[in-house]
């Protein structure tokens, strides 16, 4: 987008003092003509950017200024990258723009800006759960990741009493509205659901992170392990085309479209057990046709029989003939 390029242009000029259109084009991966138009647009808009004629010329900030033209402080640079960083996990062009912006920032700002850009990963494929509001503790945990400070957590697994521990914050993941916190512990890397964290306090102690750690790769490994546990049974079924979007939203990664057949779509649905699949689709009644495996069909038949046995009422008597 042009706005991204203009900001990147200003920051590059701030860092270097003077650039040529050719240098700018190579840095931002655009044509020389586009780079020149961007420079002219900045000058026309009143930004103190002027061409320098003659040998060794180019474009420079007025007076050779090398101060922070945009007025960004270190904290403001962090805020900018906290906002744009998560989008980089789903938009390659944003990642490319951020990489260029980091190179253009003053050296003293770069470490914090890079940490902010890498603090959060967005995973748009849901588990099939309802989207939740952003947990309040996300901001505290994000601050810990960016500032590299150890955190004291109070965490409660489902069905167990709360426990406390001190961890090294490595990153946050927004998975379709469900937030996860990846951290280093005495037992190695662990993943915590943020909505099960009852409290989080920054300790003031610097945290440690393996130099080879990369948040996106770490999260991909977590997802792969979870999906293997959640996808041990696969069932093929037909879903009406008009409901396929709803069905996909409900089941997320566990629903794979195979083919369209008239006004129906053949899909594969995965879950830990055949009974889990039967329970997931029983509420659709006769709208869905299960083709395989037989175990899912058997569970559905049993569930249907149980419901009929419990809720069927005797048919009301019809009108009496005179």
Q: pLDDT 10s per residue in the chain (322 long)? A: 455 677 677 777 777 777 888 888 888 888 888 888 888 877 766 666 777 776 667 887 765 444 443 445 555 555 555 545 554 444 455 555 555 565 555 555 556 656 665 666 666 665 555 556 778 898 899 888 888 899 999 999 888 899 999 999 999 888 877 889 999 999 999 999 999 999 999 999 999 999 899 888 898 898 888 777 777 899 999 999 999 999 998 888 789 999 999 999 999 999 889 999 999 999 999 999 999 999 999 999 999 999 999 888 755 555 544 4
Quick check: helix, strand or coil at residue 210?
A: coil
Domain 231-310 adopts which CATH fold?
Alpha-Beta Plaits (3.30.70)
> What are the start-end ranges of the E strands in 272-310?
289-292
Question: How many Å separate Cα 250 from the centre of its chain?
Answer: 18
Q: Do residues 108 and 140 make contact, with C-beta atoms less than 8 angstroms apart?
A: no
**C-alpha–C-alpha distance, residues 207 and 271, integer Å:** 38
**Nearest alpha carbon to residue 194 among 143, 148, 140, 150:** 140
CATH class of the domain at 2-118: mainly alpha
Tell me which DSSP letter residue 135 carries.
P
> What is the rounded CA–CA span in Å between residue 71 and residue 7?
12
The CATH class that applies to domain 121-227 reads: mainly beta
**What's the pLDDT at 158?**
82
CA nearest to 95, candidates 184, 215, 205, 199: 215
Q: pLDDT at position 68, please?
A: 46
Instruction: Report the alpha-carbon distance of residue 20 to residue 229 in Å, rounded.
Output: 56
Degrees to nearest 5, angle at CA 208 with 204 and 210 = 165
* Residue range(s) of every CATH 3.30.70 domain in the chain: 231-310
Cα gap 86→95, rounded to integer Å = 9
Helix 32-44 / helix 21-28 crossing angle, nearest 10 deg = 110
Q: What gap in Å lies between CA 82 and CA 33, rounded to an integer?
A: 32
User: CATH 1.10.10 residue ranges in the chain?
Assistant: 2-118
Q: How far, in Å, CA of 182 to CA of 119, rounded?
A: 10
Beta bridge partners of 152: 166, 201
In angstroms, the CA 128 to CA 192 distance is 18
Q: Provide CATH 2.30.30.100 ranges for the chain.
A: 121-227
d(CA 309, CA 292) in angstroms, rounded, equals: 25
Beta-ladder partners of 167 = 151
Concatenated DSSP letters for 85-100? TGGGGT-HHHHHHHHH
């Amino acid at each position: 987008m042009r706005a991204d390029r203009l900001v990147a242009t200003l920051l590059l000029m701030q860092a270097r003092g003077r650039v040529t259109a050719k240098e700018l084009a190579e840095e931002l991966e655009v044509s020389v003509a586009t780079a020149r138009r961007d420079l002219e647009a900045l000058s026309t808009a009143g930004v103190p950017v002027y061409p320098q004629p003659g040998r060794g010329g180019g474009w420079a900030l007025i007076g050779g200024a090398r101060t922070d033209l945009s007025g960004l402080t270190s904290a403001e640079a962090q805020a900018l990258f906290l906002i744009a960083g998560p989008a980089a996990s789903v938009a390659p062009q944003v990642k490319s723009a951020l990489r260029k912006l980091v190179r253009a920032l003053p050296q003293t700002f770069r470490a914090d800006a890079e940490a902010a850009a890498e603090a959060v990963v967005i995973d748009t494929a849901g588990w099939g759960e309802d989207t939740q509001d952003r947990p309040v503790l996300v901001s505290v945990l994000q601050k810990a990741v960016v500032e590299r400070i150890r955190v004291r957590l109070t965490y409660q697994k489902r069905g167990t009493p709360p426990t406390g521990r001190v961890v090294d914050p490595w990153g946050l993941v927004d998975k379709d509205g469900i937030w996860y916190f990846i951290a280093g512990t005495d037992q190695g890397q662990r993943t915590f659901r943020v909505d099960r964290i009852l409290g989080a306090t920054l300790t003031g102690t610097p945290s440690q992170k393996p130099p080879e750690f990369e948040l996106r790769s770490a999260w991909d490994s977590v997802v792969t392990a979870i999906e293997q546990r959640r996808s041990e049974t696969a069932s093929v079924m037909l879903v009406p085309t008009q409901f396929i979007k709803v069905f996909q939203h409900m089941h997320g990664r566990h629903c794979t479209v195979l083919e369209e057949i008239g006004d129906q779509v053949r899909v594969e649905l995965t879950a830990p057990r055949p009974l889990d699949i039967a329970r997931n689709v029983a509420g659709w009644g006769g709208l869905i046709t299960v083709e395989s495996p037989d175990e899912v069909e058997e569970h559905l038949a049993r569930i249907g029989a149980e419901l009929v046995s419990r809720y069927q009422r005797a048919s009301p008597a019809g009108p009496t003939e005179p």
